Chain A
Amino acid sequence: MTLTVVYAILFYIAAALFTIGVARKIVIYSKTPQPLKIPTTPAPITKAGVVWRMLKEVTVFESLFKSNKWIWIFGWMFHLGLFLVLARHLRFFLEPVPAVITLIQPFGKYAAFAMIAGLIGLWARRFFVDRVRYISSMSDHLMLLLLITIGISGALMTFGGVTLNTDVTSVKAFIMGLIFFDLQPLPDSTFLLIHLALVALLMIVFPISKLLHAPGVFFSPTRNQTDDVREHRHVAGWSAK
């Protein structure tokens, strides 16, 4: 039971830090003015065009694709894998489980491999490409270590055979208990404990790390501004004074 309480407290803290931290950053990004128009051109000249440009950036990583095929393939594998894995995890948070979430379970299951492979590819570049080695700091390595450990500990619970399989019904009960403030016992499984502790750590470091690129990309002026400054006068911040 002690373990259950410790993890419950850990997750409340992590969720609070994550939510408040990311929300704070989003407020800062949206409140900080962008005094001049600086879209990287050619840029869309309509709002709809900007939505399309942004959609391509966040779904198929258009700029990265133009830039470097290796980073793109590893990065996209990781992010798509993560997206499917996260979608699969929604079954732990929703009752009843929506049909679409049930439907994607097998995809989400194997997406773990894409995710881990992508991360390993990205990490390998940090050792083998001299330019990327030069720009990598300790935190860049640790972030990859963290994500890979989360991925592997999770995958082991699914693919590790009967001995490692986790009692998912109890895990769901624990999570739903957290949501409704009705604490339920957490199954005592090593990989589950590792997995959950590291996820909590990831949530805590999210708002103070480079993971802010996730909300950040939507606020990037070079990507989200319309190229219409001759037609519509733009002023903000110091340029409005």
Chain B
Amino acid sequence: MAEEIHVPAFREYPIIPAIVEGSMAHSKPYVAKPDHQQSVGYPGQLVDDWQNAAVKKLGELVSQSRALQVFLDSCVKCGACTDKCHYYLGTQDPLNMPVARQDLLRAVYRRYYTFAGKYFPKLVGAKDFTEEVRDQWYSYFHQCSQCRRCSVFCPYGIDTAEISMAGRDVLDAIGVGQKYSNEIIGKVHKVGNNLGLPEPALADTLEGLEEDIEDDTGVPVKVPLDVEGAEILLITPSADFFAEPHIDGLIGYAKVFHQAGISWTLSSFASEAANFSMFIGSHDNLKKVAMRIRQAALDLGVKRIVVGECGHAWRVAYSFWNTLIGPFDFLDPKYPAPQHICEVTYDLIQRGALKLDKEANDHRRITFHDSCNVARASRMGNIPGGQFIIPREIIKACANHFFDMAPETIHQNTFCCGGGGGLLTDDLMELRVKGALPRMEALAKVVNEYDVNTLVAICAICKTQFAKVLPYYKFQMDMITSLHQVVGDAIQLGTSH
């Protein structure tokens, strides 16, 4: 399949492509097997009374969410969002326009729960929840990376992420879940991380990593696991333990803690920052996965919780943890709970606690990709927009050559990498390649203008996605770099501060 993907050409001018109906109707991720479904508390296969069950579930979800109530009623079909989704821009499928994606769910909601939809369905575009509609839901709610770019531009702040989460939750409830997300959530429940990496394997990996760092630098930098009484519990995406370029980021965190003299630990019980339950809109799983982290923090008796480089994980941590697993009254009140690793590093740099050699990164000409969930669903630091300032200031403190991409493609306007929201799976490769188009176009500009050779990101999904799609657009795969690799390379170990 990979060979057949038609990679869209860069647009010379930012024209909005014409619609091509049905162009992505064939895109569907693998359906979850019965054991994947059951491991996350859903029926194993399509339930007998699926139509009524779905309608009932949808009604429940709407009655429990002010966001859904307002979003489903308020859209005026003005069209402001129609050219804002990277999947629309890359695929031209009109059902990838945010409003059209919402309308897949809105049509059913209106049909069963509103006066106009019950009595004048044709007039308002209300539809029965038929098998055809169900298939469309499955296809197009899995073509939304829940990046919230549409919500920035909607005059009412309608967030398609909330809609696609609800849609997936309804599908799960009738037994039609997505294999990729549900299998992974099941692994977290069982083992503690997305990879299904058990404690001994994790301990082994970290030990090997310590040896590598010492071979490289001559300094015994530790990557501790399950250390009781450590100051900081680091919760990081499990991709940091093995994947490239993620692991170089983990080395960077270790170097930061080492030089700052802060005791820290990872947890084998909560060895995962990612929480894919958000992608499928499952409240129970969201809380259950997050609860492991509270448990680990209490068991290890740490004073602070710090989260590694991961976009949606930071959204869950920053925006949802206090609600779901708080209050954090057992942590040191001097620090925000939780804290992002970038906040920690930035504070240390401000205090002069890290000795950095910018020239160590002189071979890098760097640009920074704002990850959606960090940019539009969370914050760093104590001012709005700190999530844009802090990572860039860290890069500038560690490197001499930094160039931002075009303003309409960064900060709040950032384009998704194309693989977020539970879509980072090989069975959606065509979608991922096409959805990366707007980001790749912006990257091409800084590559041409400033000879940029390094794309820095602070999200495990972004890093994996870019490593995969960069070559499709004729870029070097190893352009993608962890922010804390840049930090780690600049840190002068051995010199004390």
Residues of A within 8 A of B (CB): 25, 28-29, 32-38, 40-45, 49, 57, 61, 63-64, 66-68, 71, 75, 122, 125, 129-132, 134-140, 142, 208-210, 212-213, 216-217, 219-223, 227, 229-230, 233-235, 237-239
Contact = CB atoms under 8 A, between A and B. Distances in A.
A75 B79 CA distance: 11
B322 A234 contact: yes
A135 B100 CA distance: 6
B9 interface: no
A129 B79 contact: yes
B70 A219 contact: yes
Contacts of B81: 67
B83 A131 contact: yes
A216 B159 CA distance: 14
Contacts of B21: 134
B497 interface: no
Contacts of A212: 73-74
12 contacts: A33-B64, A34-B65, A34-B67, A37-B320, A40-B157, A42-B384, A130-B18, A135-B82, A138-B123, A213-B74, A213-B156, A223-B156
B159 A222 contact: yes
Interface in B45-103: 63-67, 69-71, 73-84, 94, 97, 99-100, 103
Given A38-B377, A40-B157, A129-B79, 9 more contacts: A42-B412, A64-B78, A131-B19, A131-B97, A135-B99, A209-B116, A213-B155, A220-B157, A220-B158
A148 to B, nearest CB: 15
B101 to A, nearest CB: 10
A37 B159 CA distance: 13
Interface stretch (B146-154, B222-230, B292-300): B146-154
A216 B123 contact: no
Nearest to A44: B384
Interface stretch (B243-251, B323-331, B361-369, B470-478): B323-331
B116 A227 contact: no
Contact of B19 (A36, A134, A139, A233): A134
B275 interface: no
Contacts of B482: none
B25 interface: no
Contact of B70 (A45, A57, A220): A220
B28 interface: no
Given A38-B319, A67-B84, A219-B70, A135 B384 contact: no
Given A45-B384, A61-B155, A142-B123, A220 B74 contact: yes
Contacts of B336: 230
B131 to A, nearest CB: 22
B236 interface: no
B11 interface: no
Interface string B150-186: 0111111111001000000000000000000000000
Interface string B300-324: 0000000000000000001110111
B217 interface: no
Nearest to B114: A208
B125 interface: yes
Interface string B2-19: 000000000000001011
Contacts of A219: 66, 69-70
A221 B16 CA distance: 29
Q: Which of A38, A233, A238 has the most CB of B within 10 A?
A: A38
Contacts of A233: 322-323, 326-327
A217 B155 contact: yes
Contacts of B385: 42
Contact of B283 (A40, A64, A125, A238): A238
Nearest to A237: B64
Contact of B377 (A41, A139, A140): A41
B122 interface: yes
B387 interface: yes
B124 interface: yes
Interface string B374-386: 0111110011110
B74 A38 contact: no
Contacts of A28: 69
Contact of B318 (A40, A66, A220, A230): A230
Given A42-B379, A68-B79, A135-B103, A220 B156 contact: yes
A7 to B, nearest CB: 24
A33 B157 CA distance: 17
B337 interface: yes
A138 B323 CA distance: 42
Contacts of B74: 210, 212-213, 216-217, 220
